[in-house]
Amino acid sequence: MPHILIVEDEAAIADTLIFALQNEGFTTTWLSLAEQALAEQQRNPAVLLILDVGLPDISGFEACKRLRRFSEVPVIFLTARSEEIDRVVGLEIGADDYVVKPFSPREVVARVKAILKRMVPREVPVASSVDGPFQLDSERVQIHYHRQLLSLTRHEFRLLQSLLAQPERVFSREQLLDGLGVAADAGYERSIDSHIKSLRAKLRQVSADAEPIQTHRGLGYSYSPRHA
């Protein structure tokens, strides 16, 4: 059964989440401190974390940064702050969704299910050969660029995978978010720009003059083999 790790210091909130998730067939572990949760995720990995932003020891943002050093497990943030900048920052550091308090437990469960459904590997046909600039291995979740293995986050891998699948096609930010399995709520599309910036930096480390990812102002991004 899918196991969810809940990191929340308010017992009443945690109890409602535990009840709602267990009613839908999930098993749960509840912890109130981020440090405990990071250690628990290394010992007994959950399939998804529900992580409060305002925790007593370290913030949920800092916890997510540390988590991303060893795991790409999906993360849903819980927070009392609804400002757009918080949503964007949360997604840029590696979260998959963002729920503002007060919330409906049913809504959180629905988002958990949606993220886990999107996590199912997709068959994406990508033309690749030993002579091409990119070689994609979906089973190992790896992409080589000019025969060098790229060190990519889960979001960066899926983003590049989507672009490579359809060369020259212009993808909107909303379409790329869907490929990442991230809800395209207001403000979230800006996180794509951050992922693209990081991805370009990694590609330039391999080939400084190449620009395989093209920007189409007001529209989105595309992969151009001619510039790879």
Domain membership of residue 124 (yes or no) is no
Burial 173-206 (b: 16+ CB within 10 A, else e): bebbbebbbbbbeebbbebbeebbebbbebbeee
- Is the pLDDT at 100 greater than 60? The verdict is yes
Q: Is residue 128 part of a domain?
A: no
What does the H/E/C string look like for 96-118?
CEEEECCCCHHHHHHHHHHHHHH
Determine the structural domain holding residue 183 and report its residue range: 134-227
* Residue 124: predicted pLDDT: 43
pLDDT score for 158: 84
User: Same structural domain for residues 11 and 57?
Assistant: yes
Give the end of a domain, one of 92, 118, 144.
118
What is the model's pLDDT at position 27? 96
pLDDT range class, residue 91, cuts 50, 70, 90: low
Number of domains in the chain: 2
Give the end of a domain, one of 118, 151, 184: 118
Residue 196 lies in a domain: yes
* Residue 111 to residue 119: CA distance in whole angstroms: 12
149 belongs to a structural domain: yes
pLDDT in tens, 156-166: 888 898 889 88
Q: What CATH number did the domain enclosing 36 receive?
A: 3.40.50.2300
Average pLDDT on 26-46 reads 95
Supply the pTM of this predicted model.
Answer: 0.62
CA distance 65 to 69: 7
Average pLDDT over residues 80-100: 72
Within a domain: 30: yes
